[in-house]
Chains A and B, each alone.
Chain A
Amino acid sequence: MSKGRLRWRKFVSNFMLAMTGVCAFVSVLVLFFILGYLLFNGGTSINWDFFTKLPKPVGEAGGGMANAIVGSGKILLLASLMGVPIGFLGGIYLAEFSGKGMASVVRYAADLLNGVPSIVIGIFAYSLVVLPFKHFSALAGAFALGIMMIPITLRSTEEFLKNVPRMLREAAMALGASKWKTIVTVIVPAAYRGIMTAILLALARVAGETAPLLFTAFGNRFESHGWSQPTATLPVMIYTYAVSPYDDWHRQAWAAGLVLLGLVLIINILARTILSRGIAVPRS
């Protein structure tokens, strides 16, 4: 092979590999760009008012998103209470009790549910919760988000439970514990970290969802009380303010975006660091 040809191939190799490096760094840079841009535009609007005041009438400057922050919190709490037990207990079933047939049916259903676009889940929640009760509500929004939390929680619970070493189970049974006792006192605590991580990740995912809330929680200019009233939420407020023509609303949208992104990123980082520290299994 001629030297020239070899040099060319080497050049191509170095060039292309450098390009892949560029691709990787560009992709990562996007994340920092987003963060930086939000900080720059929204940072100045984050003040005490933003967290404590209610929105002002259209065209008037000032006001905050207190009701949206509380609303998002309420809905996320209720969504977790709905989705996590179903996913968690269902995952226990898959890992500990089920036969092959039932297991594949449940897994398949969960995967299907996971792939449903969030707007379609919103349609489902509207038909099931909003229409029969004849009002938009935090409950409907939580229902939609809760459904979205189920698949992640289910699959992860099953995964982490299955990963618990056999010796733990066998040791428990040798000591005379029944199956359910083993699960409750030994296996679940051993898989605890992983399951917590999954729940946190599921929470982070639905915290940013807007589409399913559009026709379930709807919106509210005031604080909403209880669970059956329309509720303001951060993502929907961001959407409403962003497409408006008012500069003051734009600033608030940036601030809200920063708060939301910050929340989601913190939960993600927390979850991943918990997981990377490993599952609490005693080494023999």
Chain B
Amino acid sequence: MKRIVGLAVGVLALCALVLADNALLINGAGATFPYPIYSKWFDVYHTKNPNFQFNYQSVGSGAGIKQVTEGTVDFGATDGPMNDDQLKTFQDKHNGTGILHFPTVLGADVPTYNIPGVTGALNFTPEALAGIFLGKVTKWNDPAIAGSNKGVNLPAADIIVVHRSDGSGTTYIWTDYLSKVSDEWKTKVGKGTSVNWPSGIGGKGNEGVMGSVKTTPNAIGYVELIYAVQNNIPYGSVRNSSGNFVKADLASVTAAAAGAAKEMPDDFRVSITNAPGNKAYPISSFTWLLIPQKFQDGGKRDAIKGFLQWMLNDGQNSVEALSYAKLPKEVVEKEKKAINNIQ
């Protein structure tokens, strides 16, 4: 018995000693929206800089904001910018120092669906989307949907709505858009990372929603573009503020950001849903990394600053392969200056 205990303790000590090598681990958590590009970036960056390991956990923007505020992770990520209350909470917990938003890519929420027999892109009006997610449009062959999709054979089946069960920036983008185009949505539900959904089932993360839509006939959900693309699931076009049905792609998302690029506020918090422009995709958004302004650990601070520089230069070259749009030049320049604010 004593020998076993002795052996175990020895093994433990050995583990802690031997496995403790000099790679610096930087922990982050947050949005699932940009997870495909973040996991690619951190993987590539680690290959180029083996002494830095960026461990990013895709747990949803809500959890990202919460954990970076609590200090249990070094940085966060969100597609729904922190509101003033959340910024104040962060400051209160960190002796008055604040937290900075750094846009990383442009992406889009797309309405993705699984209707037996329908493989093409459906056209969705803002009224149709609001109606579906409010639980008022309940069948696929409802005139609200059929009206914009003449020639498509829509079944008389019940629509299964899939939304997020966790606190999500993707939800923030979606509800932000719906609040802008539907007064009823604005008053009844509102916008946020977690809302009181009128109907539907909840999936965890973009991954969970995509998984649910993929396996549930007659389901509709909202996911970041790359998730629908990677899984070969059809997604629809949405009518923008100019009246055109636009499908999410690099051009239409970049067009949506064009206006905001010129008038980007200093803290980078901005909403580009329902943006003006003939070719703009109306449910586009920036996504941000949340970096505390002050770091105790100099090593981590320099690692993060180094990563941000790389991300704004080389990193941007790999985003289009994953269907994210590059940041506008003006935004990149502004961010490079803002990196100096991290101490």
Contact = CB atoms under 8 A, between A and B. Distances in A.
A57 B1 contact: no
Interface extent on A, as a size class? 20 to 34
Given A77-B11, A136-B27, A225 B55 contact: no
Contacts of A77: 8, 11-12
**SS of B interface (majority):** helix
B57 A218 contact: yes
Contacts of B226: 59
Interface stretch (A34-42, A102-110, A144-152, A243-251): A243-251
A70 B8 CA distance: 15
B211 A245 contact: yes
A81 B9 contact: yes
B42 A221 contact: yes
Given A225-B19, A243-B208, A230 B55 contact: yes
Interface in B173-217: 203-205, 207-208, 210-211, 214
Contacts of B23: 225
A192 interface: yes
A221 B58 CA distance: 11
Given A57-B39, A192-B1, A245 B214 contact: yes
Given A74-B15, A220-B55, A245 B210 contact: yes
Interface stretch (A17-25, A127-135, A164-172): A127-135
Contacts of A224: 25
A225 B8 contact: no
B75 interface: no
B70 A131 contact: yes
Given A58-B36, A135-B27, A243-B208, A222 B72 contact: no
A226 interface: yes
B19 A243 contact: no
A224 B23 CA distance: 10
A37 B148 CA distance: 45
Contacts of B214: 245
B17 to A, nearest CB: 9
B21 A225 contact: yes
A134 B57 contact: no
Contacts, number: 91
Nearest to A126: B72
B40 interface: yes
A102 to B, nearest CB: 25
Contacts of A136: 27, 72-73
Interface string A232-257: 00000000100111100000000000
Q: Which of A131, A188, A218 has the most CB of B within 10 A?
A: A218
Nearest to A241: B207
A77 B11 CA distance: 10
Contacts of B210: 244-245
B33 to A, nearest CB: 12
A93 interface: no
Contact of B207 (A80, A81, A218, A245): A245
A78 interface: yes
Interface string A46-78: 000000000011110000000000000010011
B43 interface: yes
B4 to A, nearest CB: 10
A27 B120 CA distance: 46
B20 A135 contact: no
A227 interface: yes
B43 A243 contact: no
Contact of B25 (A227, A229, A246): A229
A222 B36 contact: no
Given A59-B36, A81-B9, A243 B20 contact: no
A227 B19 CA distance: 10
Interface in A188-223: 188, 192, 218-223
A184 to B, nearest CB: 9
B207 A243 contact: yes
Given A57-B39, A59-B36, A245-B214, A226 B230 contact: no
Given A57-B43, A188-B1, A218-B57, A244 B211 contact: yes
Interface of A: 56-59, 74, 77-78, 80-81, 130-131, 134-136, 188, 192, 218-227, 229-230, 240, 243-246
Given A222-B46, A229-B25, A230-B55, 8 more contacts: A57-B36, A59-B322, A134-B70, A135-B27, A220-B57, A221-B39, A221-B42, A245-B211
Interface of B: 1, 8-9, 11-12, 15-16, 19-21, 23, 25, 27, 29, 35-36, 39-40, 42-43, 46, 53, 55-58, 70-73, 203-205, 207-208, 210-211, 214, 226-227, 230-231, 322
Return the 8 tightest CB-CB contacts between A and B, nearest first: A245-B210, A57-B39, A244-B207, A245-B211, A58-B36, A134-B71, A57-B40, A243-B208
